[in-house]
Amino acid sequence: MSEQNQTNEKDGMNTKDFIIGTFIGGLIGASAALLLAPKPGKELRQDINEQAKVARERTADWTSQAMERGNQFASTARESTTSFARSVSDQSTTLLDKVKDLARSVRRDMEELTESADNLTDDLDGISEEIAASVKKEVEDLQRSVEELVREVELKEKMNNELINKE
């Protein structure tokens, strides 16, 4: 418990104790004054009855004031609690909605990425087939060119050999 709360409790107890002490002291003082005053018995009894009525009225007033304040505190506490609960509920609902929206957004993004990756894979498959076909054609063309070159070389070599043999 903090020092301020302890101080407030002590002040509250001291104030309460002071009020109770003042009330009890007042009653005792009034009773003593009545009992010690030089009055005849009938007059003394009337004064005691009047003082008792006054004390009863004051006690009733204090009791009603205490009840009113207690009801006010209870009402204020009830309203504050209700307001706080409503605020917490609203904030948790808002937070939950944001989390749901975020989850939906992440799912949507994941689906788009998956679709994009599938499309890219399909595109790459098509491109790799095209590249493979192109390379195969180039290799075949190169082989034909080499074969033609070899035939030409063989033909020229044969012609050279024939020329050499004729000489």
Check whether 76 has a pLDDT greater than 70: yes
Out of 75-84, 89-98, 101-110, 123-132, pick the least confident.
123-132
pTM of model > 0.85: no
Q: Which domain holds residue 130?
A: 39-166
The answer to whether residue 64 sits within a structural domain is yes
What is the pLDDT of the chain when averaged over all its residues? 79
Residue 120 resides in a domain:
yes
Q: What is the DSSP letter of 38?
A: -
Decide if 130 is inside a domain: yes
Q: Note the pLDDT of residue 1.
A: 46
Calculate ∠ Cα 66-67-73, nearest 5°.
Answer: 90
Cα separation, 71 vs 153, whole angstroms: 119
Least Cα distance to 52 among 68, 30, 70 occurs for 30
pLDDT at 3 over 70: no
The verdict on residue 32 lying in a domain is: no
Does any domain span residue 22? no
Alpha-carbon distance of 167 to 161, in angstroms, equals 10
Please indicate, yes or no, if residue 17 is contained in any of the structural domains: no
Can you tell me the distance from the alpha carbon of 61 to that of 59, in angstroms, rounded to the nearest whole number?
Answer: 5
Distance CA 134, CA 126 (A): 12
- Position 84 in a domain: yes
Residue at 18 is within a domain: no
CA Rg value for the chain: 55
